[in-house]
Chain A
Amino acid sequence: MDPSPLRIFYLEDNPLIVFHVEAMVEDLGHIFMGSASSLADLVKNIDSLEADGVLIDIDLADGRTGPAAARLLRERGIPSIFVTGQELIAAEYPQTAMATIGKPVSSSDLADKLELFRHRS
């Protein structure tokens, strides 16, 4: 396994979940770059975004905008993974994120799926 840490950004509008996933990401030895709660926030900061991969909830503060965020990031060469309790809805957007992590997020699932980001950059 490649030991170099990954830089991870998170799109999620529940700050408690961000808080928890942030700690899990850091425990895995990766770098948590920050979070945003909406597609609008992401768009505003996208030029300064430095990340090897982005975790994205399907429903954000501005609606079901997670898939649009994944598409936008993909155009910029940044891969993403959905993190959602609604896996069936995630499956409706196959050409957007690389994978889906179910909620509640388990550390082992997160560890495995984050490794996918290495093969895309």
Chain B
Amino acid sequence: MSANDSRLDWVLAMAPYRRDADYLEVLLTQHGVPVQRAAGVKELAVLLEQSPGTFVATHEALNAEVLETVRRFLTDQPAWSEMPLVILLDRTASQARIRSQLSAAWPRSRQIYYQRPVTALELLSGVQSSLLARLRQRDVRDHIEREIELRRELNHRVKNILASISSIFEMTRRRAVSLNDFSNDFAGRLAALANVHSAVFQANGGAVDLRHIVDLTFSPYEADSHNRLVYEGPSVLLSPEAATTLALCLHELATNALKYGALSEPEGRIRLEWSASSSDDILTLQWVESGGPPVSEPSRSGYGTRYIRSALSNLFGTPPSIQFRRQGLHCTFGGPLQRVSLKHREV
């Protein structure tokens, strides 16, 4: 849209008799409505392009060329636009005939007719209600533009989610030893993605607290493992993308612990701690398992380990440290806070 739209609405006036034109200009200007006068048809076309709030014309102004110029402008209006027109007719003119002619000639316009002489108050209120109608139209335009933008953004997000799910599907399938296995792992990962999506949605697309993400991830495990899962850390606000990646990584760590690690035995424990140092703005997370079966490095790394390595390197710019200590898995990761906070990404 042109920059002219942002300024106060103005009236485009066309009146061949100087007296009429002066009268209109003085009346409207006195009441705070800016006026631009079109002397000829060329000027009219130029001014119409600048999107006036209302077009006011006297009957004498409406020669064939002017009628055609206005018609062309009205036809080319964008969908939201229905230009208000104020027409001043002569007392002697046949009102009904002119009205039906003009409304046939000029599509998609909002026409108001006055018979001269018209009182200042009457004319002023007609122009003001026209300008108000124009303002509402511009509101509609803004809504339409916003909706187009939202649809584009939605499309982008849906594509992104589909791509994510497709990656999860393919990668889960690669390592599945049975259909049952595949189905459990895939459902778990999809649920983790769905949960973090809800959290992001509830945050209105804004920042999500890391603590909330940790709560979400651990809640399925907490029912039958009270006090075996301990976590502690300050409130850290994450961008939706960072929240998603961290939730999926924590999900992998937790399911791994349930299958092979600390949560596979009644005495096992997990401690997750995170800190955000204010001096250098670094977020560090530490996942420590203990009390589970003795751990040794697997000969072939599975989905979880590979995903955590790949995703956390991408998110933080440095790979995580994953140590298969005998007493339990030990995983440390983190990086600059600004990489995971909302302002990092331009929306």
Instruction: Considering the complex, give the chain A residue whose CB is closest to the CB of B162.
Output: A104
Interface residues of A in 49-72 (CB under 8 A from B): 59, 61-63
Q: Does B29 contact A (CB under 8 A)?
A: no
Min CB distance A4 to B, Å, is 24
Picked from B160, B174, B306, B313, the residue with its CB within 8 Å of the CB of A14 is: B160
Identify the interface centre among B168, B311, B317: most chain A CB within 10 Å of its CB. Answer: B317
Least Cβ–Cβ distance between A2 and chain B, in angstroms:
26
Q: A20-B170, A23-B174, A62-B346 are in contact. Are A37 and B163 (CB under 8 A)?
A: no
Contact of A35 among B168, B170, B313, B345 (CB under 8 A): B313
B274 to chain A, nearest CB (A): 19
Cβ distance B336 to chain A, nearest Cβ, rounded Å: 11
> Does B315 belong to the interface (CB within 8 Å)?
yes
Q: Find chain B residues with CB under 8 A from A12 CB.
A: 314
Q: Which range contains the number of A residues in contact with the other chain?
A: 20 to 34
CA distance A3 to B310 in the complex (A): 26
> Does the CB pair B306–A61 fall under 8 Å?
no
Measured in the bound complex, the distance between the Cα atoms of B162 and A13 in whole Å is: 15
B241 touches A22 (CB 8 A): no
How distant is A102 from chain B, measured CB to nearest CB, in Å? 11
Point out the residues of chain A lying under 8 angstroms from B313, CB to CB. 34-35
**A17 contacts B by Cβ under 8 Å:** yes
Distance in angstroms from A104 CB to nearest chain B CB is: 5
Q: Take A35-B310, A61-B241, A62-B346 as given contacts and tell me if A16 and B167 are in contact as well, using a CB distance cutoff of 8 Å.
A: yes
Q: Are B345 and A15 in touch, CB under 8 angstroms?
A: no
B345 engages A18 (CB within 8 Å): no
Task: Enumerate A1-35 residues with CB–CB distance to B below 8 Å.
Answer: 12-20, 22-23, 34-35
Closest to B319 in A: A34
- List of B residues within 8 angstroms of A13 by Cβ: 241, 314
Interface check A90, CB cutoff 8 A: no
B159 within 8 A of A: yes
- Given the interface pairs A61-B344, A62-B346, the reply to whether A18 lies near B159 with Cβ below 8 Å is no
Q: Which residues of A contact B168 (CB under 8 A)?
A: 16
Residues from chain B with Cβ under 8 Å of A44 in the complex? 317
CB within 8 Å of B: which A71-105 residues: 85, 103-104
- Quick check: is A36 within 8 A (CB to CB) of the other chain? yes
In whole angstroms, what is the CA distance A61 to B156 when docked? Answer: 14
A37 contacts B171, CB within 8 Å? no
Inter-chain CA distance A103–B164, complex, in Å, is 11
Hey, which chain B residues are within 8 Å of A104, CB to CB?
162-163, 166-167
Residue contact A18 to B314, C-beta cutoff 8 Å: yes
Of all chain B residues, the one with the shortest Cβ separation from A60 is B345
Cβ of A109 within 8 Å of any chain B Cβ, yes or no, is: no
Query: Counting CB contacts under 8 A, is A115 at the interface?
Result: no
Question: Is A35 a contact partner of B314 (Cβ separation < 8 A)?
Answer: yes
Contact yes or no, A18 B310, CB < 8 A: yes
Residues of B with C-beta under 8 A to A36:
314, 317
Residues of chain B within 8 A (CB-CB) of A23 are 171, 174, 306
Give per-residue flags for B25-56: 1 if the beta carbon is below 8 A from chain A beta carbons, else 0. 00000000000000000000000000000000
Verify if B221 is at the interface (C-beta below 8 Å from A). Answer: no
B80 / chain A contacts, CB cutoff of 8 Å: none
Residues of chain B contacted by A85 (CB below 8 angstroms): 159, 163
A13-B314, A36-B314 given; 4 more Cβ-contact pairs under 8 Å: A15-B312, A15-B314, A62-B345, A104-B163
